[in-house]
Amino acid sequence: MQKSYFPVFFWIIITLAVGLAAGIVSRPDVWYDALSKPAWNPPGWIFAPVWILLYVLMGAAAGLIWQRRAISQSILALSFYVIQLILNIIWPLIFFGMCNPGLAFTEICLLWIAIVATLFTFWRVYRPAGILLMPYFLWVSFAAVLNLTIWRMNISVA
């Protein structure tokens, strides 16, 4: 019996829509440009293509899990996925919208935990879906360290 590709495309579109919303609020401005950043901070042009690829991989992973929804753990896995997607869109609102790297670091730690939970549950339901989340996990791990570094480099001494 052949599986439908509709769930995979559906979840890719949903995830890309979340990514688009996050991208709209992530546009750097004068505040971000004025921040001190480490020498290993990636150039600005790299973020859009990396995130597009990550959102496609994430959506494909969710679609693969959706196809296995008869498995009781797939509901839990997709619940974690939705939670991490919500946290994913909150981070740029805090970092760029509120100009608050400290609070954003706290939020990205929660996002990281949600990604780990999603990754483990995806892995248990269908290993290829878990593998598709690995680049996202690695990128957010890097982003968390970068967020912390930027925050620490820009703490004002009162």
With 50 as the cut, is the pLDDT of residue 37 above it?
A: yes
pLDDT in tens, 108-150: 999 999 999 999 999 999 999 999 999 999 999 999 999 999 9
Long-range pairs of 110-114 with CB within 8 A, sequence gap ≥ 24: 111/84, 111/87, 111/140, 112/140, 112/141, 112/144, 114/80, 114/83, 114/84, 114/87
Alpha carbon 88 to chain centroid, angstroms: 5
How far apart are alpha carbons 79 and 97 in whole angstroms? 27
Burial classification of residue 112, based on how many CB atoms lie within 10 Å of its CB (0-12 exposed, 13-18 middle, 19 or more buried): middle
Is the whole model's pTM more than 0.85, yes or no?
A: yes
First to last CA, the chain: 66
Q: How far apart are CA 147 and CA 152, in angstroms?
A: 9
What are the structure tokens assigned to 34, written together?
């004025």
